Amino acid sequence: MSERDDVLVVGGGVIGLASALALLDAGRGVRLLDAGTVGCGSSHGNCGTITPSHAAPLAAPGKIGKAVHWMLTPDAPFYVKPRFDPALWQWLLRFASRCNSRDWRAAMVARASILLESRAQLPQWVERYGLQCEYAEQGVDYVFRTERELAHLAAELPPLAELGIASEIIDGATYVRNEPALRDGVVGVVRFRGDARLRPDRYVAELARAVREAGGSIEQHCEVKGLVDDGDGMRVATSQGERLARDVVIATGAWSPLLAKTAGLSKLPIQPGKGYSITYDRPALAPKQPVVLYERSVCVTTWDSGYRLGSTMEFSGYDTSLNRRRLDALERGAREYLHEPVGPVKREEWFGWRPICVDDVPIIGRAPGHRHAWLATGHGMLGVSMSTGTAQLVADLVCARTPRIDPLPYSPQRFA
**pLDDT per residue as tens digits for the range 10-65:** 999 999 999 999 999 999 999 999 999 998 888 888 999 999 999 999 888 876 66
Instruction: Please report how the helices 200-213 and 101-129 are oriented relative to each other, as an axis angle in degrees rounded to 10.
Output: 60
Q: Write the DSSP string, 18-70.
A: HHHHHHHHTT--EEEE-SS-TT-SHHHHS--EE-GGG-S-S--TTHHHHHHHH
Check residue 74 and give its pLDDT.
65
pLDDT tens-digit series, residues 48-61: 999 999 999 988 88
Percent of the chain scoring above 90 in pLDDT: 80
Check residue 64 and give its pLDDT.
64
* 32 within 8 A of 20, measured Cβ to Cβ: yes
**Rounded average pLDDT over 298-325:** 90
pTM across the whole model: 0.95
Instruction: Please report how the helices 387-398 and 14-25 are oriented relative to each other, as an axis angle in degrees rounded to 10.
Output: 50
Check residue 1 and give its pLDDT.
45
**Rounded average pLDDT over 282-300:** 96
Bridge partner list, 192: 140
The alpha carbon of 156 is separated from its chain's Cα centroid by a whole number of angstroms, namely 21
Check residue 231 and give its pLDDT.
82
**Rounded average pLDDT over 121-127:** 98
Count CB atoms within 10 A of the CB of residue 94.
Answer: 14
pLDDT tens-digit series, residues 125-174: 999 999 999 999 999 999 999 999 999 999 999 999 999 999 999 999 99
- C-alpha span between 123 and 128 (Å, rounded): 9
Kindly report which listed range (66-80, 153-167, 250-264) carries the lowest average pLDDT score.
66-80
Percent of the chain scoring above 70 in pLDDT: 96
CA angle 322, 95, 257 (to 5 degrees): 60
Check residue 42 and give its pLDDT.
81
- C-alpha span between 275 and 133 (Å, rounded): 22
Q: Report the mean per-residue pLDDT for the chain.
A: 93
According to DSSP, residue 345 is labeled S
pLDDT of 314 > 80? The answer is yes
Q: Given CA atoms 225, 44, 326, 268 in this order, what sign does their dihedral have?
A: positive
SS3 300: strand
What Cα–Cα distance (Å) separates residue 164 from each residue in 109, 119, 120? 10, 12, 12
Check residue 75 and give its pLDDT.
66
* 260 within 8 A of 254, measured Cβ to Cβ: no
pLDDT tens-digit series, residues 326-346: 899 999 999 999 999 999 999
pLDDT of 69 > 60? The answer is no
Q: Which of 274, 263, 362 is nearest to 318 (CA)?
A: 274
pLDDT of 82 > 80? The answer is no
Q: Given CA atoms 262, 248, 15, 279 in this order, what sign does their dihedral have?
A: negative
Check residue 2 and give its pLDDT.
64
Backbone angles phi, psi at 164, to 5 degrees: 95, 15
Backbone angles phi, psi at 151, to 5 degrees: -65, -35
- C-alpha span between 372 and 188 (Å, rounded): 51
Between 50 and 230, name the one with better pLDDT: 50
